[in-house]
Chains A and B, each alone.
Chain A
Amino acid sequence: MSTTPAPPRKTNRIGLDVLPYRGGRTTLCAGCGHNSITERLIEAYYEMGVEPWRVAKMSGIGCSSKTPAYFLSQSHGFNAVHGRAPAVATGALLGNHTLQCVVISGDGDTASIGIGQFMHMLRRNVPLTYIIENNGVYGLTKGQFSATADVGSKLKTGIVNEMHPIDCCLMGIELGATLVARSFSGDKRQLSAILKAAIAHNGLSVIDVISPCVTFNDHVGSTKSYAWMKDHEEPLHELDFVPGFSEIEVELEEGESRVVVLHDGSRVLLHKLEHDYDPTNRFHAVEVLHEATRRQEVLTGIIYLDNKRANFTETLDMVDVPLATLPMERVRPTRQVLEQIIEEFR
């Protein structure tokens, strides 16, 4: 009996199929926005041909923080304490600055318990991709408001939020992140382009992804529900991402699109929608965010981009090889040095 040979497996530019980019089976609720984000992450890392072993996946505690277990099975992951993934990620990059780091957090992690660390990570421009899976509620503790819940937003139980929300994108722009974006877990094309741009970016990328919680925050009255997002999402521009390793020539029509070149040669193409948006203008970026809030719109896209500022590990001017791998000869000063120091105390 003859057999038909299996078709060759599809591989990416470094010869890997998609399997190493996948992770464990999700234990989140069916329909959870976080799972869509996971899918986009798998696609992004696969399509960009990132070496999985170079990636460190960090998270805090909560539904969102389970995400690193669901992608890149051949990457080291770290599920730290609530809200404090920024410190652990920063430390990991001090130990090995050649790692490609991604932090998956939630709105509780980022805007409540970990807001201090979030702000200082921004200030340092730590070179990592920081994704906020933002659903406005605490899922694992069964549905309390988080600090990103909008004024007037309702819990399932009917409780109305009266507190002003924290806008993580505004904070990101204000405090020093060098790529700030907002997206919606249901917007496959846009989120995919943003994630790739973030991975290619040599600095801190903050991506606030509205990711509806189907169990506790997907009802009428929620401003983080699928239905609300469908009606209130306002894309800033259409996005395309052209990776730096590709030789694709893109034809651009003057006045129609804007191109931003990232450090590795990748390009982000911003197609004009309503206005000729300049993501490198910090003041304008803040203005459009405030304006969108006033209009009760959720502005999505790459809101701010600075591809010139040095990142945190560059400013430390460390040797090229990871500190973690330095042999004793390079980290223990000589006998003569000890004698010289001792003489100062005689």
Chain B
Amino acid sequence: MHASPVAPSMSAEQSGPLPSEQRVVNDFSIQVGTVNGSGSQTANNVLMRSIFQMGVPVSGKNLFPSNIAGLPTWFTIRASKQGYIGRKKEIDFLVAMNPETAREDVMSLAPGTAAVYDAPLNLNELRDDIHFYPVPFDKLVAPVCPEAKLRKLVRNMIYDGVVAHLLGIDLEEMRKALYKQFGEKKKKAAELNWGAVLAGRDYAEKNLVKTDPYWVEPMDKTAGKLILDGNTAAALGCLFAGVTVLTWYPITPSSSLAEALISYLGRFRHDEETKKATYAVVQAEDELASIGMAIGAGWAGARSMTCTSGPGVSLMSEFIGLAYFAEIPVVVVDVQRVGPSTGLPTRTMQGDILNNALLSHGDTHHPVLFPSSPEECFTMAQEAFDLAEQFQTPVFMNMDLDLGMNNWMSEAFPYPEKPLVRGKVLDAEALRQLGGFARYKDVDGDGIPYRTLPGTNHAAAAYFTRGTGHNEKAGYSEREDDWIHNMDRLNRKFENMRTQVPAPDVHYMEGARVGLVCCGTSRYAVRESRDQLSRERGMNPSWLRLRAYPFSKELEEFIDRHERVYVVDQNRDAQLLMLMRMEMTPERIGKLRSVRYYGGLPLDARTVTDEIVRQEGL
């Protein structure tokens, strides 16, 4: 069994003596190594939430295998008083619960790390430069949990008590976090688990002497903030976007988005009088059917969507090309995982950028939105539906597993003030006034034609939707001029999106000669790396976070204002950079450099910093 891939490998021989004790407050990472399916997620969430409730910025990352139960899994909590919530590669505090990986986990730690471990594992024999805290979990769990079959689950709560004592976490906050986690309906379970926390705390108080430097102290940086995962946030965004049709096929890591949305629709989207649903959900037989249904619904005028991951998007390719060419609104949320092929289903990557932008054969391109936080998942889901209907086209929302399935600290979501954008739809009354319409005619010069919905009671409403060549009146045509005219109009429509999609987030620094460009969750590593470069190397790079494709003029201006621009990609082939190159002048392309990471874990700042330092020759 492999060791935790989170920390750099370092053998005991290379290590030195314990570093001098120095209080490190609210700036460390905790990693908990457990067994998949052992119920550790609850204990980990309670631990993270208690730190969050003390006002300390936190983030939680779950590194789990593609397996139901039995394989190793790691959960990392980062506390950062500076508010850095990207992944930190280095582990400061280990909780080793999984016998299979515990030894290797310990061997990979840097000197000075703290390690709570299950006493019978005798991990303290491995090294003398680690702050070890042995805890006899089995002995402690028996008295607090008389039911033997529950012990496996309750056992994990004991480490929460131990860690709370060692780090100085307010026990009252931990109690609140635990009861919130279990909710009103599971009070008995909460009491049982709280007993385990206290047993851990009591043991630690009486038996462990703290030698590590890590402490949690109250701060005021999390007031009003939320903790949730991006998939839930995106589901809420779709709910408040007024989605009416969701058709989907289960796939990691997007399933929890559909499941959350189904749950919210069930709670909040029924007619008050009749109790009937103002939505429809279908779990389709495969991804081809799910996108086909979503397109059919979009054609009929519904706000329709599907959510999936890379393998699903691959299957949807033909249908997406049809929706592009026939000009049918539909939203596709792609929660990316590691590819090609089945790849690493439970690891993260931004490997579908080119695929989303250019999906299907022939000359196709699609708008792609790049949310980077739960708040943006919420707001951009609404923008995705508006853009799809405004431009009558498929719109991709390009998330990743890190954003979708991990826990993030977030601002509270703003209630959407903007009315829904339903686009250019002609009803029977409009047709009576106009006398008719041509489905694919560019009446307004913006490339966006008018459409009618099936069921419109007017003799002139009907038109024929087809993926084959058509003229302005939607009639079948193989004429060269019709084809070129139509393709040029589609391109004009796409060009018009540049000013309508979310603008990039730009931060110019005084005198900066180097710029950093990224999208999505790379934002956190890039932001922290910028500070590292400034602090450690005296560089002062500007940075720009792309929020959508097609790119707007701000990106070109950004490149023009810097001598070199590093484009940060979480994929092997520098997909974001390639997409930029497709549109740039040779002069601008000449300024672009690439920083890539594709190991399957969330990108961390040190990886970005090290690569820029190497390329800059610093």
On A, residues with C-beta under 8 Å from B are 20, 51-54, 56, 58, 68-69, 72-81, 84, 86-96, 98-99, 116-117, 119-120, 313, 316-320, 322-326, 328, 330-333, 335, 337-338, 341-342, 345-346
On B, residues with C-beta under 8 Å from A are 224-228, 236, 239-245, 247, 264, 268-269, 271, 274, 276-282, 284-286, 288-304, 318-319, 322, 410, 412-413, 415-416, 419-420, 452-459, 461-468, 476
In the bound complex, residues from chain B placing their C-beta under 8 Å from that of A318 are: 276-280
Q: B322, A80: Cβ atoms under 8 Å? A: yes
Asked whether A319 and B276 contact (CB < 8 A) given A53-B455, A56-B454, A332-B420, the answer is yes
Q: B271, A330: Cβ atoms under 8 Å? A: yes
Q: How many A-B residue pairs have CB under 8 A?
A: 224
Show 29 residue pairs from A and B whose CB-CB distance is below 8 angstroms, ordered by the A residue: A53-B459, A68-B464, A72-B462, A74-B459, A76-B463, A76-B465, A78-B296, A78-B464, A78-B466, A79-B464, A80-B295, A81-B319, A84-B292, A84-B319, A87-B284, A87-B288, A88-B293, A90-B292, A91-B294, A91-B304, A92-B296, A98-B455, A99-B300, A316-B277, A323-B280, A324-B301, A330-B278, A331-B243, A337-B268
In the bound complex, residues from chain B placing their C-beta under 8 Å from that of A76 are: 452-455, 461-465
Q: B274, A96: Cβ atoms under 8 Å? A: no
Chain B residue at smallest Cβ distance from A120: B285
In the bound complex, residues from chain A placing their C-beta under 8 Å from that of B415 are: 335, 338
- Cα A319 to Cα B265 with chains together (Å): 14
- Cα A260 to Cα B476 with chains together (Å): 42
B281 to chain A, nearest CB (A): 8
- Cα A58 to Cα B292 with chains together (Å): 12
Chain A residue at smallest Cβ distance from B461: A53
Q: A324, B462: Cβ atoms under 8 Å? A: no
Find the residue from B284, B299, B457 having the highest chain A CB count within 10 A: B299
Option from B225, B298, B456 in Cβ contact (under 8 Å) with A95: B298
- Cα A56 to Cα B288 with chains together (Å): 21
Find the residue from A93, A324, A326, A338 having the highest chain B CB count within 10 A: A324
Option from A54, A86, A88, A341 in Cβ contact (under 8 Å) with B236: A341
Other than A91-B295, A345-B228, give 5 A-B pairs with Cβ distance below 8 A.
A51-B457, A84-B319, A91-B296, A324-B455, A346-B224
- Cα A73 to Cα B474 with chains together (Å): 13
Asked whether A77 and B247 contact (CB < 8 A) given A316-B277, A318-B276, A338-B240, the answer is no
Q: A342, B226: Cβ atoms under 8 Å? A: yes
In the bound complex, residues from chain B placing their C-beta under 8 Å from that of A51 are: 457
B406 to chain A, nearest CB (A): 14
- Cα A58 to Cα B476 with chains together (Å): 16
Q: A324, B300: Cβ atoms under 8 Å? A: yes
Asked whether A52 and B462 contact (CB < 8 A) given A91-B300, A96-B300, A332-B420, the answer is yes
- Cα A68 to Cα B466 with chains together (Å): 11
- Cα A325 to Cα B455 with chains together (Å): 11
In the bound complex, residues from chain A placing their C-beta under 8 Å from that of B281 are: 316
Q: A94, B285: Cβ atoms under 8 Å? A: no
Asked whether A322 and B288 contact (CB < 8 A) given A79-B468, A94-B280, the answer is no
Q: A333, B240: Cβ atoms under 8 Å? A: yes
B179 to chain A, nearest CB (A): 13
B431 to chain A, nearest CB (A): 11
- Cα A326 to Cα B453 with chains together (Å): 13
B128 to chain A, nearest CB (A): 43
Option from A54, A68, A95, A341 in Cβ contact (under 8 Å) with B296: A95
In the bound complex, residues from chain B placing their C-beta under 8 Å from that of A346 are: 224-226
B423 to chain A, nearest CB (A): 12
Q: A96, B289: Cβ atoms under 8 Å? A: no
B563 to chain A, nearest CB (A): 43
- Cα A56 to Cα B464 with chains together (Å): 10
Find the residue from B298, B415, B468 having the highest chain A CB count within 10 A: B415
Asked whether A328 and B420 contact (CB < 8 A) given A56-B454, A317-B277, the answer is yes
A2 to chain B, nearest CB (A): 34
